[in-house]
Chains A and B, each alone.
Chain A
């Protein structure tokens, strides 16, 4: 079943209490990102754009940080505010849904970095999924994000 559907120009979530509870983890995940030099998640989210030139990369990071962090903070706020409204049956605008989609993408990248996932194929490792509930969260957030992509792709 699709967890998000588009009707009358609005995105209507069909989320269980459990799914809402998992989504409430996302703002905490997004807030828990340190500096690129000491945090694998931050390094992944803001990689060195000039791989052979650390100095130039650092300058780019300095200049682009406001835009990138600002977008992430805005998306986090959109998700947090939307969760309260969704619980009371309200729908999301397409713009809000796009913010949710990006927030989920960032949350999954952060979670993947925290779990040390560096290779394709991790989805098929059932033993790893059973051993660490965070992989289940990664799967569920991916399912939600994929449904949001499907809804928003219809608007392109």
Chain B
């Protein structure tokens, strides 16, 4: 609605934003957290076996987990990220998801 001195231009229409659809479209990070039990050698093995990382990259990610407490080991669509995080759990690693 316009008052005195208003224009005849149509009101701007703002489309409602569906936050859920944005969530689905955004990539997700698979985060592996440090834990005091799992062996360093095992974590490197899992990263190589599951994600196909080179020994150097898998070792770098393992050390990042160990020294910084966490590392992003994969990024992708939610469905793939959920498969990856479940796979980490099936190996006994502590993994969660976060929006990229």
Contact = CB atoms under 8 A, between A and B. Distances in A.
A51 B96 contact: yes
Interface stretch (A8-16, A83-91, A145-153): A145-153
Interface residues of B, number: 24
Interface in A16-56: 44-51
Interface string A122-156: 10000000000000001000100110011011001
Contact of A60 (B48, B66, B82): B82
A106 B92 contact: yes
A46 B87 CA distance: 11
A116 to B, nearest CB: 11
A49 B38 contact: no
Nearest to B36: A120
Contact of A109 (B35, B48, B66, B95): B35
B10 to A, nearest CB: 39
A3 interface: no
A63 B49 CA distance: 24
